[in-house]
Amino acid sequence: MGLAPSEKCENVGRLLIAIACWSGLAATLAAQSAGKTIAWRADPQESLRVRMVHRIRTEIRSNQKPSAMSMLTAIELHWRLTDEDEPNDIAIEQTIERLILQSTEVDGRRWDFDSDSSDPSPPELRELADTIRTLIGSRVTIGLNTRGQIQDVRLAADTDRRLADVPVAGRWKHLLTRDGMRQMLHQALGPLPDEPVVLGDRWQEVRTLQTPLGPITLVDRFEYLGTIVEQGRELERISRHTSRQRKESEAGWFDDAHPTDSQQDSGTLYFDNAAGRLVRSRSRHRWESEIVADDHRLLVNASGTLDVDVAPLEQR
């Protein structure tokens, strides 16, 4: 016995609805499996204000006598992103607008300098402060690819000349050099994944860092933590954990000199994919070491944070 016309229409309707549902589900699964591309891009119409605040505290215990010192470096930069000649490259035209330096020494003395302040600098900072003030307004061009990797740092000729006059003993001088700026920006910017990602995807980068004791190899491991919504905008969240890659040739020396050495370095990046730029990041680092020489035992504990905020220039 055949179906009535009304029943046939009802079954056809159900079939069409089922096909539509399965098609929608298949499209959703395909989109999820394809992942999300996260990338920097230049917006020539937008100028950005970048604030970086680096805090570090070092505690030293020698023969059970503790001492400590702390430093704060705050720098405000203005950025304008433009397209480079090479495909997928971005040029950041950067201007140094403000610099704040604070230090508390082992003996309790405090140094404080703000390039925006008209107050006279303390005698210990006068030479450094006078030189740094001449750096305000100086220009730097940073080559960036769409993953946020620093390709090069180019200082204007006048900036190079001014920087050469900064006293060698100035502990903040390295921050303004090509290598110092590259290292700080690397912590703040990435790199982003080179392929589309889904929740839980991981990637890593190996880099060499120059130190007073020679080059060391670092491994940065990243994980995509998904999207969060803040103030009506979606932000991509990425975690970073950094560890040192030791060479076999240095294992004996390192273990003998630093028998209880440990290092922790991690951070989180928040990226606005619709705007094509970083919104903020925070890095935390901690280093502990015990150094034994003859009967002398020295414990060193250093910890710090680097906070970066990026916003359109008109926003304060």
Please state which of the four CATH numbers 1.10.1660, 3.30.70, 1.10.530, 2.30.230 is assigned to the domain occupying 35-312.
2.30.230
How far apart, in whole angstroms, are the C-alpha atoms of residue 186 and residue 109? 32
Prediction pTM value: 0.77
- Report which secondary-structure segment, H or E, holds 211: strand 202-211
Closest-CA residue to 102 (of 86, 113, 115):
113
Q: Above pLDDT 90, what percent of the chain?
A: 29
Pure H helices in 83-156:
126-133
- Report pLDDT for 31: 43
Whether the bond between 66 and the residue before it is cis, its omega within 30 degrees of 0, is: no
Least confident stretch, 85-89, 107-111, 288-292, 293-297: 85-89
Mean pLDDT of 22-51: 72
- Report pLDDT for 32: 47
pLDDT higher for 211 or 157? 157
Q: If you average pLDDT over every residue of the chain, what do you get?
A: 78
Confidence of residue 117 (pLDDT cuts 50, 70, 90): confident
pLDDT tens digit sequence for 168-189: 545 556 666 777 777 777 777 8
Tell me the Cα Rg of the chain.
26
CB atoms within 10 A of CB 126: 12
Confidence of residue 36 (pLDDT cuts 50, 70, 90): very high
pLDDT higher for 180 or 275? 275
Mean pLDDT of 217-232: 93
